[in-house]
Amino acid sequence: MPRRWLAAAGTIACVAALAGCSSHKTLYQWESYQSQVYEYFKGESPKEAQIEELERDLQKIKAANGAVPPGYHAQLGLLYSSLGRDDQMVQQFQTEKALFPESATYMDFLLKNAKKEGKQ
């Protein structure tokens, strides 16, 4: 009997451990962010399409009460900047700074350069 009880306890422990893994929630909801950054650097995908995809994913993340990963709003800002949509660029950089204060120096650098180039 003790062996059966031990085997049953082991099985229950394994099932409980696997069930715990399946309910694991990640800190950030990435959606297509990583693939969009890849597309950005490849330069083959239209920037408008990248913005649409990221904005659509942003709505999904917000609807699920999720958190955007670091760099998400900065990427959107860079895309908006490349299309001359300066107000949206500034808004995205400011949002990135608010969500991730450690990015403030870099976001300020990008904003300063945009001013120099007459984009702001």
pLDDT at 6 over 90: no
Q: What is the 3-state secondary structure (H, E, C) of 22-59?
A: HCCCCCCCCCCHHHHHHHHHHCCCCHHHHHHHHHHHHH
What number of other Cβ atoms are within 10 A of residue 9's Cβ?
10
pLDDT category, 118, cuts 50, 70, 90? confident
28/60 Cα distance (integer angstroms) = 12
Average pLDDT over residues 86-114: 97
What number of other Cβ atoms are within 10 A of residue 50's Cβ?
21
pLDDT of the residue at 25: 76
What domains can be seen in the chain, in order of their start residue?
Answer: 28-116 (1.25.40)
pTM reported for the whole predicted model: 0.77
Average pLDDT over residues 52-68: 96
Question: In terms of pLDDT, which residue wins out, 115 or 18?
Answer: 115
Average pLDDT over residues 82-106: 97
